[in-house]
Chain A
Amino acid sequence: MPQPLHYLRETASQTAGPYVHIGLAPGAAGFDIYREELGWDIAGPNAEGQRIIVEGVVIDGTGAPVKDVLLEAWQADAEGRYAHPDDPRHAEVAEDFRGWGRVITDFETGLWSFQTVKPGQVPARRPLGPAVKVRPQSAGERTDALGRGHQGPRRQAPHINLWIVARGINLGLNTRMYFADEAEANAADAVLNLVEQVHRRETLIARPAGERDGLPVWRFDIRLQGDGETVFFDI
């Protein structure tokens, strides 16, 4: 027998069930209990950036909208900064920008929507393998401490991270929502490019859908199964 590894094992997930609202959105369950429910304000009034509305439905394998789903959104601010201490730029994030939101679907229609600011570009991972030595081509390019040139920091295309739970979903589903008007950034995004079947990348891209209350609306439908199944991530 080799030496034992004394790691703890993860607590297993269980479905959020049909009554998830009681715990996470009691107002929707039909009662008022907390001073303030969490997750209604993703970007407070002081957060800079373009205000947008994001909406959609979650569709099951039969083509019907899922009416008891809860989604959580996690995003960077308009400058691509997360309100979290592991983001080196978090101190610059506006105080009332949390970047996290929780929404539930309408019990009749299955529609969900939230208001936020459009996120900026977040730094990407450095690619695996040895650093590529490229001489700076112009003054605008930078050199690192070893004198290696590079094209400036690699960044991800603007995106909102989404987490979806509901009755019948055993382990919360992670996906990302990108924006159709960011074609150039999307084409260069490392995560989108990881999706081998090019047509499936489309499932991660929100489309413009007019205006409401003077704000641009982005439509993002999520298909759990079947034609056009959304790409989900193991993060």
Chain B
Amino acid sequence: MTPAEYHACDRRRHPPALTPNYKTSVSRSPRFAALSLQNSLSEITGPVFGHNDIDPIDNDLIRNYAKEGEPIGERIIVHGRVLDENARPVPQTLVEIWQANAGGRYRHRKDTYLAPIDPNFGGCGRTLTDADGHYFFRTVKPGAYPWRNWVNDWRPAHIHVSVFGRAFAQRLITQMYFEGDPLIPRCPIVQTIPDPAAIDQLIAPLDMNAGVPLDCLAYRFDIVLRGRRSTMFENRLEGN
């Protein structure tokens, strides 16, 4: 395939930089408009990962940090596909996740929430998508936690998700929420996203067909990255 550029970033889908109800954004948001570039080789390429980079256990958060027992919490599978806007799978791409434990506490030196650390839970995992763009993790459902923003703001249960895609232009970090959580509409970070349909797309439905009877529930979370143009008319990225 001739290297081709990616569709423009869908700015109506993403949150703007300045979102005053999420207070930290006020001093960390650029005031000038981003300068739009046509893709060059610098944007249509990106890091490539392989099975040598990770271990098979890395996608099992129930076991990858377990010391003397298993972590406390509701056992779940999180699975889905990484696709592009053309509905094509993104294979062999690195998906990394991190989350709080079942009590809502992170294993992080800067997290001082009063809920206890779980000695058997690290809270991170990573995996590569297969040829169909499919990925899966096993973990425990994270708890909600309070955070300093307005006086009584709570984060809904969520899993942070990082995806590379095939090109640096597709790089994405987002968060997955759980169907039915009443904290979702109250969360200032969720509400940075102006389009209600884009918020719905971050909410993973319960997927009973993918769970394991008598063992764990499952949630399905598909991730859509920017699509790539087909080269119907030549507009070469390489110069001469």
Chain A residues engaging chain B, CB cutoff 8 angstroms: 6-24, 26, 29-31, 33-36, 38, 60-62, 66, 68, 72, 74, 76, 82-88, 98-100, 107, 122-128, 144, 150, 152-156, 159, 161, 163, 165-174, 176, 191, 194-195, 224-226, 229-235
B175 located at the interface, meaning its Cβ lies under 8 Å from any Cβ of chain A in the complex = yes
Contact of B197 among A9, A21, A229 (CB under 8 A): A9
Q: Across the interface, which residues of B come within 8 angstroms of A22, CB to CB?
A: 98, 106-108, 122-124
B182 located at the interface, meaning its Cβ lies under 8 Å from any Cβ of chain A in the complex = no
Determine whether the beta carbon of B30 is less than 8 Å from that of A171. Answer: no
Q: Across the interface, which residues of B come within 8 angstroms of A233, CB to CB?
A: 34-37
Q: Across the interface, which residues of B come within 8 angstroms of A165, CB to CB?
A: 173
Whole-angstrom distance between the Cβ of A189 and the nearest chain B Cβ: 11
B224 located at the interface, meaning its Cβ lies under 8 Å from any Cβ of chain A in the complex = yes
Q: How far is the CA of A99 from the CA of B46 in the complex (A)?
A: 9
Determine whether the beta carbon of A144 is less than 8 Å from that of B240. Answer: yes
B223 located at the interface, meaning its Cβ lies under 8 Å from any Cβ of chain A in the complex = yes
Contact of B35 among A29, A153, A234 (CB under 8 A): A234
Whole-angstrom distance between the Cβ of A92 and the nearest chain B Cβ: 14
Q: Within B9-40, which residues are at the interface with A (CB < 8 Å)?
A: 9-11, 13-17, 19, 22, 24-32, 34-40
Q: Across the interface, which residues of B come within 8 angstroms of A191, CB to CB?
A: 37, 40
B186 located at the interface, meaning its Cβ lies under 8 Å from any Cβ of chain A in the complex = no
Among the interface residues A34, A76, A171, A232, which one has the most CB atoms of the partner chain B within 10 A? A171
Determine whether the beta carbon of A24 is less than 8 Å from that of B42. Answer: no
Q: Across the interface, which residues of A come within 8 angstroms of B40, CB to CB?
A: 122-125, 156, 191
Determine whether the beta carbon of A125 is less than 8 Å from that of B237. Answer: yes
Contact of A172 among B24, B98, B173 (CB under 8 A): B173
Determine whether the beta carbon of B25 is less than 8 Å from that of A169. Answer: yes
A-B pair count, CB < 8 Å, reads: 289
Q: Across the interface, which residues of A come within 8 angstroms of B120, CB to CB?
A: none
B183-198 vs A, Cβ < 8 Å mask (1 yes, 0 no):
0000001101101011
Q: How far is the CA of A161 from the CA of B34 in the complex (A)?
A: 15
Q: Across the interface, which residues of A come within 8 angstroms of B107, CB to CB?
A: 22, 29-31
Q: Which of B70-78, B81-89, B209-217 contacts A (4 or more CB under 8 A)?
A: B81-89
Determine whether the beta carbon of B172 is less than 8 Å from that of A13. Answer: yes
Q: How far is the CA of A18 from the CA of B109 in the complex (A)?
A: 11
Q: Across the interface, which residues of A come within 8 angstroms of B208, CB to CB?
A: none
Whole-angstrom distance between the Cβ of A200 and the nearest chain B Cβ: 8
Q: How far is the CA of A174 from the CA of B173 in the complex (A)?
A: 13
- Once A33-B122, A35-B55, A170-B14 are accepted as A-B contacts, the answer to whether A11 and B172 lie under 8 Å apart by CB is yes
Whole-angstrom distance between the Cβ of B150 and the nearest chain A Cβ: 15
Whole-angstrom distance between the Cβ of B144 and the nearest chain A Cβ: 14
Nearest residue, chain A, Cβ from B168: A74
Determine whether the beta carbon of A74 is less than 8 Å from that of B46. Answer: yes
B48 located at the interface, meaning its Cβ lies under 8 Å from any Cβ of chain A in the complex = yes
B206 located at the interface, meaning its Cβ lies under 8 Å from any Cβ of chain A in the complex = no
Determine whether the beta carbon of A74 is less than 8 Å from that of B223. Answer: no
